[in-house]
Copies of this chain bind each other. A is one copy, B any other.
Amino acid sequence: MTPNDPRKAQKSLAALLAPDILDLLESEPSTVAAETEDLHPADLADVAESLPHSQIPLFLSALPAPRAAAVLEYFSEELRTELLEAMSPEQAAALVDAMTPDDRADTLEELDEAHAGEIVDALPSETRRNTQQLRAYEPDSAGGLMTTEVVSVPDSYTVEEALRRVREIARSGRREAMNAVYAIDVDGTLKGVMSLRELLAAPEGARVTDVAWPEVRHALVTADREEVARLIAEYDLVAIPIVDDRHRVLGVVTVDDVIDVIQEEQTEDVQKLGGMEALDQPYMQMSVGAMIQKRAGWLAVLIVLQMFTASAMERFDAELMQLPILMLFIPLVMSGGGNSGSQATSLITRAMALKEVHLGDWWRVAIRELPTGLVLGVILGAIAAARVFLSQHAFDQGWDLFGYTLGYNFERDNGPSWQLVAGNVFASLTAIVMFGSMAGSMLPFVLRRLGFDPASASAPFVATLVDVTGLIIYFSVALLILGKFMG
């Protein structure tokens, strides 16, 4: 095993183990559990996924129920659903019963309503009640994310009593998150928090109230899961208690679930920024038809918006006919504006997602983007003007490359000089890049102010907005600088 690339090592581990496990399943299924007991459930899930799918239920049934449930939690959603739907409700219920409460609720959420209902009916009554409660919360809320197995001790305990209680819970074999121990009063109200470490470090004879921190970061059960993620990240927590409106502890959200939330939210943001609806599924697991649906909507909206460019061109077609060289730089000028707008939007959307920039900061951002856009515009304008000079110079000198004529003559009969053409490109690019930076940076604020998700300000959306406006800016500048050549 090369410690450098554990992933590759794990993959080959799965490939290596799979044939052995298949043999064992045929000859001595009772030894499978012992043979694999040192593996992390994530690795065991890799091994299981590399077995023929028909053998996976047999493999799972050869493991103790809590172990099989843990493996199931690491399967892909697709495979988990396929397996559970192939089992009888009683078989599925036995597996699901052994899962942690939060994963159980999430797993049932993935199945179709009817099948999930049958499995819930086959669960033992206590698990069933707990599952129904958890499933009643919005999947995107703190309640939808939490597990109900909390380690709590009465705040009247001594530290030694608390440690004894924690040890009992740990030995009970239930799979509570034990990262933090909560002190509660007789009504179940949250009174304090301590880590196992703090409990262990407490001097002999100390009481829970001496050790526990009374100011506990917590989240309301109805809070958005992004808010829960933010609190855990900001305060470097390993777990956060979830309370009802009377401050009673209902459950706990652990940091590993929050990492998943952060990655999912980030995926959604990138996809929205790319100009589509969030897929909500891994790319490869999605059907082509479903993906087209997620992607076509925004593209259709954008092309309709983009039609205003055709309208603008139609309005200016008399000028264009008289001065066709105007045409040459339309794509160049438009894309300069679109690119600077995409930059600004990506930057501000991300800063908003990280809470580095708030709604009230819009004018601070505007003050920064104005000079930034100006300088960027001058740089791009200068490059484009240099290009005009070089083309004209190459034409005047008659340069060629392997017989391919380089250069272009901008100076047609009675038309503007190349200097005027270059000046026109410079001025319009400067104006359009400034406009692009401003529009791109302000749009996320406008969207948030209107109550939309700022991440909907996709790069293609900004580019399209700036294209249309850019074209109008371009023609206006051209009328100003080259107007007299347009008859």
Contact = CB atoms under 8 A, between A and B. Distances in A.
A372 B306 CA distance: 21
Contact of A343 (B197, B274, B342): B274
Interface residues of A, number: 134
Nearest to A178: B197
Given A284-B364, A299-B336, A320-B324, A292 B375 contact: yes
A128 interface: no
B339 A464 contact: yes
Nearest to A43: B215
Given A296-B379, A331-B467, A346-B270, A263 B262 contact: yes
A247 interface: yes
Contacts of A423: none
A483 B407 CA distance: 26
Nearest to A221: B3
A309 interface: yes
A58 interface: no
Interface in A421-472: 433, 458-460, 463-464, 467, 471
A20 B79 CA distance: 59
A348 interface: yes
Contacts of A94: none
A335 interface: yes
Contact of A283 (B198, B320, B340, B357): B357
User: How many identical chains are in the complex?
Assistant: 2
A186 interface: no
A234 B331 contact: no
Contacts of A15: none
A220 B6 CA distance: 10
A63 to B, nearest CB: 17
B218 A3 contact: yes
Contacts of A33: none
User: What does DSSP make chain A's interface, helix, strand, loop or mixed?
Assistant: helix
A460 B6 contact: no
Contacts of A288: 368, 371-372
A302 to B, nearest CB: 5
Interface stretch (A24-32, A47-55, A164-172): A164-172
A255 B238 contact: yes
Interface stretch (A109-117, A119-127, A310-318): A310-318
B459 A342 contact: yes
A268 to B, nearest CB: 10
Interface string A196-234: 111011010000000001110111101100010011111
B42 A235 contact: yes
Given A178-B196, A282-B356, 5 more contacts: A170-B198, A171-B203, A255-B259, A273-B346, A302-B335
Interface of A: 3-4, 6-7, 38-40, 42-43, 163, 166-167, 170-171, 178-179, 195-198, 200-201, 203, 213-215, 217-220, 222-223, 227, 230-238, 243, 245, 247, 255-256, 258-260, 262-263, 266-267, 269-271, 273-276, 279, 282-284, 288, 291-292, 295-296, 298-300, 302-304, 306-307, 309-310, 313-314, 317, 320-321, 324, 327-332, 334-336, 338-340, 342-343, 345-351, 354-357, 361, 364-365, 368, 371-372, 375-376, 379-380, 383-384, 387, 391, 408, 433, 458-460, 463-464, 467, 471
- Nearest first, the 9 A-B pairs at minimum CB distance are A274-B346, A170-B201, A236-B256, A309-B331, A339-B460, A178-B197, A283-B351, A459-B459, A270-B350
